[in-house]
A and B are shown apart, each in its own frame.
Chain A
Amino acid sequence: MAGETSPGPVAPASSHEAPKVRALACPHCGGPLTVRGLLQTETIACGGCGSVLDLSDDSLRVLSTFRARARIAPSIPLGSRGKLLGDTLEVIGFLRRKVNVEGIDYEWSEYLLFNPYKGFRWLSEYNGHWTFIRTLLERPDGLYVVSYQGRTFKHFQRAKAEVTYVLGEFFWRVKVGETALVDDYVSPPYLLSREQSENEIVWSLGQYVLPEVVQSAFRLEVRLPAPIGVYSCQPAPYTASARLIYRLFAGFLAGALFLQILMLFLAKNQRVFRGDFQYSPSSGEKSFVTDVFEVPGHTSNVVVRTHANLSNSWLYLNLALIDESSGHGYDFGREISYYFGRDSDGSWSEGSPEDEATLPAIPAGRYYLRVEPENAGDPVSYSIVVYRDVPRWKFFVLAALALLSVPGYLFWRQRYFEIQRWAESDHPLVTVSSDD
């Protein structure tokens, strides 16, 4: 007596027997059918003949028939059972749906997944992109921007979806040709969908899953193909790490800037020599040396600035900074040229009467300059000023550019990805002329 163990009376009626998986034969073509839906499904579509049968009718009345262009074999066979995002689910139905956007059909697959306690879930597959979908208990709010559980979803596309192929079991009277108006909203990796048919609105939430996840969940032997293109709710590359990377590099940049400012403060920017010279090619004596001057302090850069009174001419200086005690020299040549004038476009100028040369690491000591000027022949006066420990921006700028390249690349990759994503939507980010 069951009444002894449970508080309520349990009658021995047939309706209380545990529902079982049933094997049937299609009344139309005789093909074998397995009913896995444990009395929670309404229809079964026979893959052999395209008949959609009424499971609530003992004689399996044919509700509709369809003629498929070709038999389509689902990538996950009916009857496969797996654990996906926490729930054990069995594949019991498969259908194909299409939308037509600007004259082009886009067709995708949907797998109906079943758990007798938790109900139905879906897996959709388009070009190798998989989305795990469940019906929502909540009704999200909004029209073009929808918020759900703290996330903001942007409208992606409105389209009429039409069933083109069915196989296996469904919880409603599925029919090839039935349509629903679908609005998709995305916030990768999530996709919110609102489907409206004649007497029902259903909201569902999809989550992007990698083919490997589907593959291992259902222990599929055939390898699922790699996704093609960008899918509406596919997460952009490096999404998880982008924030970290941006922060990290902002930190590096701030550190470099701090060091640079520190160096600006610490740099002595000290003048150690100044000389004014006159050069005339006719004087014969070409090369000369300056007075010895002291370069004090620690090893630092030395900057040699020259200024020449040039007017549409040039001056070439062959220079050497020579250590008095060792005789060791740092040779360098500088050309200063300055041309200017007026033409039909107005005034123009080229070059500059000033020049600056940096010697990177000069130890402290006593030095002199050897100077060997050359020019086209006119006498010219010029000055040479030598500074030590001059603050420089060049290395900071180079470091900053190097540091910006990584987040810059990341930004570009993500932006390009978003452009590709939204190109498939009703609201492309970049408008392309449609002359194709």
Chain B
Amino acid sequence: MGLEVNCPSCGAKVAFRSTGSVVAICAYCKSTLVRHDLDLENVGRMADLKADGSPLQLGSTGEYAGVHFAVVGRIQYRFDAGLWNEWHLLFDDMRDGWLGEARGNYAVSFRTAVNDALPAFGALKVGEPVVLGGHGYEVMDIERARCIAGEGELPFRVEAGYDAPVADLQGAGRRFATLDYSETPPLLFVGQYVEFDALGLTGLRALDGW
């Protein structure tokens, strides 16, 4: 199960609850701790998150496809049109997932491997069809996002300022996919758009006047 360590920098407790988590950011001193087999490496201080209006926070819980999850980490991106959060989810069945959230839009996705060759970022065009893993998609949104910062535990290292060219694809119904070109080869996440009410979220932030 999970692992709890003391931050080598400030001594605060830092949790690695997901076995898939490689990185945890100390909530107090922002040290970025990378987990190796038995030891921890402090790779430096994580940048500050930008204040945003997200109703989610670390520790929020919810449900997707009948499985309960907890929010254990987050990466905050800056897009051309605002801030975007990818919340790292740990499901009760020990799966790792992501809850993409921006301006009241929510999408749950899971890292997925396909045999198809992924299209190059430069070759993508809005409105064009793409077939991935036997499903047809349409390119809906192409953005050059920038990582602002991360918090909590994450399955890979993030660094402030790195470029994340991403494309959102939409398939039949609510099926959706994200191609993330910040790594080579690009990462593919596949999931569904979801309604806020359907997520049954608890432990949300208080928002002024609401």
Contacts and interface: CB of A to CB of B under 8 A. Distances in A.
- Do the two chains bind? yes
B43 interface: no
B58 A10 contact: yes
A16 interface: yes
A8 B71 contact: yes
Given A10-B27, A10-B59, A117 B104 contact: yes
B142 A199 contact: yes
A75 interface: no
B97 interface: no
B51 A14 contact: yes
Nearest to B151: A11
Given A139-B138, A171-B81, A201-B138, A39 B152 contact: no
A283 interface: no
A199 B141 contact: yes
B53 A116 contact: yes
Interface in B131-180: 138, 140-143, 151-152, 170-174
A117 B196 contact: yes
B113 interface: no
A130 B23 CA distance: 50
A139 B170 contact: yes
Contacts of A221: none
A118 B81 CA distance: 18
A198 B141 CA distance: 9
Contacts of A38: 53, 207-208, 210
A201 B127 contact: yes
Contacts of A37: 53
B15 A19 contact: no
Contacts of B141: 199-201
Contact of A15 (B49, B103, B204): B49
Contacts of A10: 27, 57-59
B72 interface: yes
Nearest to A116: B207
A327 interface: no
Contacts of B103: 40, 119-120, 171
A200 B140 contact: yes
Contacts of A138: 173-174, 193
Interface in B13-56: 13-15, 27-28, 48-53, 55
Contacts of A21: 208-209
B203 interface: yes
Q: Which of B82, B143, B171, B206 has the most CB of A within 10 A?
A: B82
A56 interface: yes
Nearest to A198: B126
Interface string A2-31: 010011111101111111110000000000
Nearest to A86: B197
A18 B208 contact: yes
Nearest to B73: A8
Contacts of B80: 173, 199
Contacts of A118: 104, 196-197
Interface string B78-98: 001111000000000000000
A9 B13 contact: yes
Given A21-B209, A115-B104, A199-B142, A6 B59 contact: yes
A42 B128 CA distance: 28
Contacts of A39: 51-53, 83
Q: Which of A17, A138, A139, A173 has the most CB of B within 10 A?
A: A139
A15 B72 contact: no
A8 to B, nearest CB: 4
B164 to A, nearest CB: 15
Contacts of B152: 8
A135 interface: yes
Contacts of B190: none
A172 B84 CA distance: 12
Contacts of A139: 138, 140, 170-173
B205 interface: yes
Contacts of B142: 199-200
A139 B192 CA distance: 12
Contacts of A14: 48, 51
Interface in A189-224: 196, 198-202
B70 interface: yes
A137 B126 contact: no
Given A118-B196, A201-B141, A19 B59 contact: no
10 contacts: A6-B58, A15-B51, A19-B53, A38-B53, A39-B51, A88-B210, A116-B53, A139-B138, A173-B81, A200-B126
Interface of A: 3, 6-11, 13-21, 37-42, 56, 88, 115-120, 135, 137-139, 141, 171-173, 196, 198-202
| 6 closest residue pairs by CB, A with B | A119-B104, A9-B27, A39-B53, A8-B59, A137-B193, A8-B58
